[in-house]
Structure 1
Amino acid sequence: MNNNKKKFHWAWWILIGASLMVGFTRGGLNSAGGLFLPSVTEDLGISMGSLTLYFSIASIVTMIFLPIAGKMIAKYNIRMLLIGAVILQAGSFAMFGFMNSVWGWYLFSIPMSIGAVFLTQMAGPVLINNWFKKNKGLMIGVMMAVSGGFGAVLQPMVGNLIDSEGWRNTYIIIGLLVMAVVIPVVFFTIRMSPKEKGLQPYGADEVNEDTVSNTPVLEKGVSLAVAKKSSALYALIVFFFFITAIGSFAQHVPTFADGLGYDVKFSGNAMAGWMFGALIGALAFGYLTDKIGARNTALFAMVLGLAPVTILITVADNPVMFQIATVIFGFVVASIGTLGPLLTSALFGNKEYGQIYANVALGLAVAGIVALPGYGYIYDLTGSYSSVLYAIAVMFIINIFLIIAAFKGKKKLEQAGHWN
């Protein structure tokens, strides 16, 4: 038994693999999309609203495919699913470099978003939930921090590549790079369940070596059927909608900066600051959730979010303050990837976590349908992002009340005897 304790637990390989996977796909591909918008719209003569409509198409596909992805992850070999997902997402991203019409972005956003559902939203939280019982919040925070770290490195790299190689070559280079790295990482590290390695989840109650592979870890929480009748579920879905709508502003930061007279290199550095903030935020939120709970951590994040919005409304023409605002904004928006899964677990437990999370994450998809092109069309109509920033401030305030309402809903579930 003592020898078993000293072994390198496979859960750490899961953390490394999931972190690299999410880092390259979410911190790289997803976050880099906004850097291309000014160059593509100028070169092809496309309006910002029309081009960003492809984000809406991607969000619609995501909304449709989320429940399907949840069932597929539970049913099929997760490594094969994720390898296929990388080919779909990164391959479609590379194909954007060959397009001459906005219809190309509309078309390839479909397979890109199907792949991204698995890679950036579903697989990471499900794997961490399966493999870790100790410091789960910190582990999800580490995974999302790595995503922010990769984003901090890749964003200026993408900005410099667009400046030196053009947007077409940059799409292709980044897409191929992600496939070359993520496919072998997934193949060699990812396993769905500790049972595949004859192990208990990391941090589970100690059992003797003879029973480690067949002693179940009891899961507590509510079923999906019960959750669907709870006000907590719908409060959390709306919270996800607003926090994702807030985070969607990241795709418009380069255009916002461009409108203020900043160049593409500055935009790349600003997005690097955003991703650095996301790195620190992910770690901080994971740690704080383990210490003070998901509810209090989420409330802190929403109050803090009002600070960068105020800066961007009042002194965005100051480059130093602009950079400070993007760092704080990234810190707060890290709550999407970190607090989202942790709030779901805190409110509904782990009994049917994957299925409940797939339903809650619909708020993420709907937000992309509305917010991303909505911000683009507002910019086209007004020539400014001021009204968008005021709307984001209101969303932060509404989210404070939604968090309070969600945990009141959990208390009702407990009082009714459903949380067990």
Structure 2
Amino acid sequence: MATTKEGKPSKMYYGWWVYVAVCICMLLPCCFTFNTASVYYDSVAEAFGVGKGQVGLYMTFVYATACVANLLWAGKLLEKLDLRIILSTCVVLVGGALIAMSLAQSIYVFYGAGIALGIANAWLLWLIVPVVVGRWFKKNIGFMIGIAMAMTSIGGTVFSPLLAQVIQNAGWRTGYLIEGIVALVVCLPLAAFVVRSRPSDMGLEPLGADDPKVIAREAEAKAAGQDGITLKQALKKPSAFILCCVFAGLANLGLTMNFFFPSFATSIGYDLSVGAMVASCVMIASLVGKVILGWLNDRSIVVSNLVGCVPMIFGLAFMMLFGQDSPMWLYLGGILFGLFFAVQPTNVPQVVRAVFGNVSYDRIFAYVAVVMPLCAAVGSSFWGFIYDATGSYNIAFIVDMVFAALAIAVLFAALAAGKKLKAWAKQDAAK
């Protein structure tokens, strides 16, 4: 049972309401930004008489803007401002951008909307979930992050076919309009009236703070000087910080191969429906993977990342070597790749927390998060360029498998560097 600071029992811990509100924001505004975007490309391109690449360019604006926001102000504001202000702003930006897209008379409106979406999702996609969970809960943090991040996959699975029907029957403008209105009507009240920044705002302690195991773990970490690294310390001895950035970058760059699976399927003789099924297998496996990896993170960061990265290597190998023999190899490969797809949203935050602790987690993770949209923007075209240069996806698959193997090696290096950093920080504090 949750208790107040005075030790009085409360009926239901308020952090659960905050967690549910954040999950719904992942399910709707965040999902509408990324997981349903592709269903509009053909219709928008035809309406404006432009290529799909020109339509997809607005996503480059999303990623680039998110990168700049994470670098310059997202982490600082998340630490200083009331979370209600930040989350409400995110919802308004996403809802307003989607409505503007529904009214657009030029593709350039999409590019402006992409900037608004990028600012909002600098917080929504990369920062708010791990920060909120870490502030309000002391137990099962990895599992809860996995569940929250899985909301985007659930949303993509549910809303993409529904929106496809809306587009077919009522047009793409109606689809964007519905998304914008739903995001505002459902999420703005939650952001403004339900969410709170920290347990102390409600006179509460984080859930699990009184658990004997949590107390013992934190006391042991504090005694060892491992309760946390400040941002100044992390940047003064930057090896651990750089390694965490490289790990995050490899995870984000590697997962963008998913965008090219339909093209890969058609390149080896299948029709587009097979490629679409591969993409669906990735999304479904990612949904399950986020939960599994989140649960494993609470037990072993290393095991969780091995489960996320190693199957991906086999999945791409199966697709490359046996994909022409049967589409079942493609589907199996998509499922195995889906586990790796879950590494970025679920494992990267926990790796950063394991390396640096909680003292300056919000700020440190915000800076690590800079590389995520940057690498996603690069990866969105990187694999296509390899195909254009070689006429095959084989080299691209091999490079991506190498990236997964490197991610594992970098993980071990980051954890080792984190231990050295904590030892140095302890000595530095004693001076």
1:135 aligns with 2:143: no
Residues in 1 aligned to 2:363 and 2:38: alpha-carbon distance in whole angstroms: 31
8 Å Cα contact 2:138-2:209 kept in structure 1: yes
Structure 1 residues 157 and 375, CA gap change in structure 2 (3 angstroms): farther
Residues in 2 aligned to 1:167 and 1:299: alpha-carbon distance in whole angstroms: 41
2:26 to 22, 26, 29: 22
Structure 1 residues 62 and 192, CA gap change in structure 2 (3 angstroms): same
- Residue matched to 2:232: 225
- Residue matched to 1:204: 209
- Residue matched to 1:64: 68
Report which stretch shifted further, 16-25 or 271-280. 271-280
TM-score by length of 1: 0.86
- Residue matched to 2:312: 305
8 Å Cα contact 1:160-1:268 kept in structure 2: no
User: Counterparts in 2 of 1:184-263, with a 5 A limit?
Assistant: 184-205=189-210, 220-228=227-235, 229-253=237-261, 262-263=271-272
Report which stretch shifted further, 109-118 or 172-181. 172-181
- Residue matched to 2:36: 32
Residues in 1 aligned to 2:158 and 2:10: alpha-carbon distance in whole angstroms: 34
Per-residue deviation at 1:5?
4.5
Per-residue deviation at 1:406?
0.5
Structure 1 residues 270 and 179, CA gap change in structure 2 (3 angstroms): farther
1:363 aligns with 2:371: yes
TM-score by length of 2: 0.84
Per-residue deviation at 1:350?
0.1
Cα RMSD after superposing both structures? 3.1
Residues in 2 aligned to 1:255 and 1:162: alpha-carbon distance in whole angstroms: 23
Q: Secondary structure at the residue paired with 2:298?
A: helix
Q: Which runs of 5+ in 2 are unaligned?
A: 213-221
Count of paired positions: 409
1:78 to 49, 68, 83: 83
Per-residue deviation at 1:225?
1.3
Structure 1 residues 258 and 195, CA gap change in structure 2 (3 angstroms): farther
Structure 1 residues 384 and 99, CA gap change in structure 2 (3 angstroms): farther
Residues in 1 aligned to 2:398 and 2:134: alpha-carbon distance in whole angstroms: 36
1:281 aligns with 2:289: yes
Per-residue deviation at 1:6?
6.0
Per-residue deviation at 1:149?
2.2
1:363-408 Cα distance to aligned partner (Å, 9 max, x none)? 1022023111334555667776544333322211211111111112
Per-residue deviation at 1:33?
1.9
1:409 aligns with 2:417: yes
Structure 1 residues 247 and 94, CA gap change in structure 2 (3 angstroms): farther
1:304-324 Cα distance to aligned partner (Å, 9 max, x none)? 111332233345564444344
Residues in 1 aligned to 2:383 and 2:54: alpha-carbon distance in whole angstroms: 11
Structure 1 residues 113 and 301, CA gap change in structure 2 (3 angstroms): same
Structure 1 residues 313 and 44, CA gap change in structure 2 (3 angstroms): farther
Residues in 2 aligned to 1:270 and 1:160: alpha-carbon distance in whole angstroms: 21
Per-residue deviation at 1:86?
1.3
8 Å Cα contact 2:355-2:419 kept in structure 1: no
Q: Which runs of 5+ in 1 are unaligned?
A: 208-217
- Residue matched to 1:295: 302
Residues in 1 aligned to 2:276 and 2:40: alpha-carbon distance in whole angstroms: 10
Residues in 1 aligned to 2:258 and 2:167: alpha-carbon distance in whole angstroms: 18
Q: Secondary structure at the residue paired with 1:191?
A: coil
